[in-house]
Structure 1
């Protein structure tokens, strides 16, 4: 391993609440993290296991300084070319990394973001569901988002079409805070029609990505889709709970449902999902601890 910390620094870093005794370079750690993802067979799961085996390790402990710097330079150049002039990172063991992310089964070590990071400290609920919802489903998502704003919650979602877009837009219309956790790197837009919305959230609210820039660039399109359920796990960990408005039997939203239960977060499922004879997952998750929402008050009671 490279750039090993001395015993005192390792002890300090083993406790995320303790300050690091040696300076940590965000550029170096960003580059090292990206370089790790460029190694053959790298996945979020495997990297999480690597860091779990050495709780004091930083990304730069596994990568040469030269490789870290080369990767960091490529990332900065690529983001700049994509129009990303300002961004930040949050690195585990280095200050403002959200401790609640460690509740994920395979927590990420680094997050990219644009906007006001302090918004992540608000109480927040995720509003998620189908990319092709019914008209009533989209209206339900909007009503929920506005109610969350009225109760001073941040509305968190994934910036996809359908339920996600309805929730983000309704929160903005209500003058509230919205946070988007995306399944692409910064500077990439999926779906394309949400580009203006993504840019607005990045400028005026908070946009978060865990997706490695360099790895994403070289992956085939079919492999890139796996990042969306992985970001759902992070979205769940960042919030107090997840509200599912509508979702099919094989929806990626169910990844977030499973993550919420694993992480000890609240999982809310709207009554209309239980009334849909085409799906069986609502009853299954209710048996595992999900909360059936017949009226909005069911959400607030559970949170209190």
Structure 2
């Protein structure tokens, strides 16, 4: 996972006396519910928010598929230095309990390191803990110091991101294909989107990666809330990711995603949002965003059952 290495430390000259193998352990406790910490760790849209270890580093995700057998490939960029490539492959994913992945880091076609990364989670509604164990093999040079610095910075970013992340879940009693078709459909989405009593007035809608939805949400009292969704990822029947703006081309409000998983004969829908600041998260939570978001998912189920 690219956020865990510090590319500014990768150019240090190797020391032949250094041990090329190391087991590193990192731990963080965050005052958020366990499902929130898990989503911040595992959801690709959230990982893209916290992955850069320092402001001078830019991370570009080329591929992101967080499921067993899936890969995450990213480039870590620092001005004036060659790009660092990281490939992460998911070996085990137990939501809220554990993830295991391999990762390889390379630069200029030369593999720098290989590692097995295990993250163990525990917690309650009041707070959660993650313990990350890295079994590191340095190949081109000793990478231990860079991994220590990179993982510490990454987990600090993860903690800060989790504190401004909102996660809503609902099991909808309908097959995943039906739920997806009613969500990613330009005709049906505006009919159910929004809390109870709200309606949508669409200006433009194009539900594909690179597309957008420009619309007004209209409250029961007639108050208008301009919205602009910019879609970055669309994986049919799996997940979508999008950026929320305050009105057309307005300031960024949040990075959001929705994922769809089979649960029995129904579909578990997870709607997540990383707000731009913790203050915005607290403000949204204060005016009832959790309850209003759950109403929105409830309207989707009602809409599906009515068809």
TM-score, normalisation: structure 2: 0.31
TM-score, normalisation: structure 1: 0.32
Higher strand share: 2
Higher helix share: 1
